[in-house]
Amino acid sequence: MGSMDNLPITYLSFWDVELDNLPVGLFSKRVLSTAEAGGILNAARSSDTLVCVSREDLAAPYGARARQRHEELCAVLRRHANIEMHLRDFFGEDCVNPSCVAEVTLHSRLLVVDCNYTLDHLGSGSTDRPEPDADAAACRDGNDQLKMKLAPDSLQFHLFEQISDSKPKSPGLVSVV
């Protein structure tokens, strides 16, 4: 992975950040606009420095729900943010790129996409809750009665970057300016 322009590696995660992704020392977290995030992701993709990672094993038979959530968010990014993203982007040569490989350094950054969900009753788009005395069988079958859908207007892009010369000189020592 590399670029003639020396662009940093951009790791992309949906929803998740792990403590091991973050550097020891100082780092920044910024919320980006959709246009800024799209620019970073498009530049990283075109320079072959984009690595999409997932906490979930999207290829596992038990990972159907996580796979579906990733596919839904990819579709929302394409339709509502003009960011070209597909489930296959999360796969390396042999498996899903695990989130533990994403490390924020001076030469790499982590962009985390987050969003909210809303209730979609019977696909109507209505946000009213069903009546408490609704048919018990229909209530048991969540696929028919209640569905959650991504709220495109809730998309948020969080960028984590290491601040240069941010390694503490002594563990536990904090300098205050």
pLDDT in tens, 138-167: 444 545 456 888 899 999 999 999 998 655
Let me know the angle formed at the C-alpha of 102 by 98 and 107, rounded to the nearest 5 degrees: 155
Is residue 3 a part of any domain in this protein? no
State which amino acid sits at residue 168: P
The answer to whether 8 and 49 are in contact (CB under 8 A) is yes
User: How many whole angstroms separate alpha carbon 127 and alpha carbon 119?
Assistant: 6
What confidence score (pLDDT) does residue 80 get?
94
Supply the range of the domain harboring residue 145. 117-150
pLDDT at 169 over 80: no
pLDDT at 132 over 90: no
User: How many whole angstroms separate alpha carbon 18 and alpha carbon 27?
Assistant: 14
Residue 99 is given by DSSP the state: G
pLDDT at 10 over 90: yes
Looking at the chain, which runs of residues are DSSP E strands? 9-14, 27-32, 50-53, 108-114, 117-121, 146-150, 156-162
What CATH number does the domain containing 102 carry?
3.40.50.11170
Is residue 127 a part of any domain in this protein? yes
**101 in the same domain as 46:** yes
More confident residue, 155 or 7: 155
**135 in the same domain as 91:** no
Give residue-wise pLDDT tens across range 12-48: 999 999 999 999 999 999 999 999 999 999 999 999 9
User: Treating both helix axes as pointing N-terminal to C-terminal, what angle do 64-81 and 34-46 enclose, rounded to 10 degrees?
Assistant: 110
**26 in the same domain as 72:** yes
User: How many whole angstroms separate alpha carbon 166 and alpha carbon 7?
Assistant: 20
**126 in the same domain as 106:** no
Closest to 148 in 3D by CA, of 68, 78, 83, 80 = 68
User: How many whole angstroms separate alpha carbon 31 and alpha carbon 159?
Assistant: 6
| Four-point Cα dihedral 6, 43, 29, 168, nearest 10 | -10
User: How many whole angstroms separate alpha carbon 119 and alpha carbon 126?
Assistant: 8
Give residue-wise pLDDT tens across range 65-99: 999 999 999 999 999 999 999 999 999 999 999 99
**71 in the same domain as 45:** yes
Q: Give how many domains the chain has, as a whole number.
A: 2
**136 in the same domain as 71:** no
Q: Which residues pair with 12 in a beta bridge?
A: 52, 111
